[in-house]
Amino acid sequence: MEQKRVFNFRRLYASYPRSAVVATSYDGTYKSALSLVWHTPLSFSPPVYAISVAPKRFSHDVILKALTFAVHFFPYEKAELVEWIGSRSGRDIDKFAHLPHFMSPLENPIIEGAYLVLDCQYLDHRLVGDHTLIWGEIKHIYYDPQLVIEGEDGGFELGKVRPLLYVGKGKYASLDPSSLITLR
């Protein structure tokens, strides 16, 4: 194994693939949507989810003003949509003029075509290097029952969906369902 002392994290695609998602928000004036791959659950109880957003992104300030955000998980078949959202700035165009959506009770735009959406109420944020980690409590969940299975225990599992994974440099992939193994 070789050691490298310095690296450019923008080029460390060896830590990928990662699930590509879209975060949305509405601050009363602007609706925003951005694609991102740095996101994670933080807590079971209460259910808390976090996204990492660069302060230079248009959506950054919209989310912090709105104090709400929604995280959309799209199937592999929607890769072009996720790339389109991530390659345009809300400073330049109104993305929602092109995106069928409805507003959640938290006033987050919910984009049609996602197989799972986590509608979050802001809890806190912290600047971590050149990104802001923003986390919120999941207040509502939207899902496509044709792609996601709701269990009797209230949990959700991937059904027929092929999740969208970002490999880096504008490349996307998905899981091969035949590669799944059950170990427990």
Residue range of the domain that includes 81: 18-179
User: Three-state secondary structure along the chain?
Assistant: CCCCCCCCHHHCHHHCCEECEEEEEECCCCEEEEEECCEEEEECCCCEEEEEECCCCHHHHHHHHHCEEEEEECEHHHHHHHHHHHCCCCCCCCHHHCCCEEECCCCCEEECCCCEEEEEEEEEEEEECCEEEEEEEEEEEEECCCCEEECCCCCEEECCCCECEEEECCEEECCCHHHCCCCC
pTM: 0.93
> What total of structural domains would you count in the chain?
1
pLDDT in tens, 5-38: 676 666 666 678 899 999 999 999 999 999 999 9
**6: in domain:** no
Residue 165 included in any domain: yes
Q: What is the pLDDT of residues 156-167, one digit of tens each?
A: 787 888 999 999
Residue 4 reports pLDDT greater than 90: no
Q: Does residue 41 fall inside a structural domain?
A: yes
Task: Please give the pLDDT value at position 182.
Answer: 84
134 pLDDT more than 70: yes
The per-residue pLDDT for 101 is 98
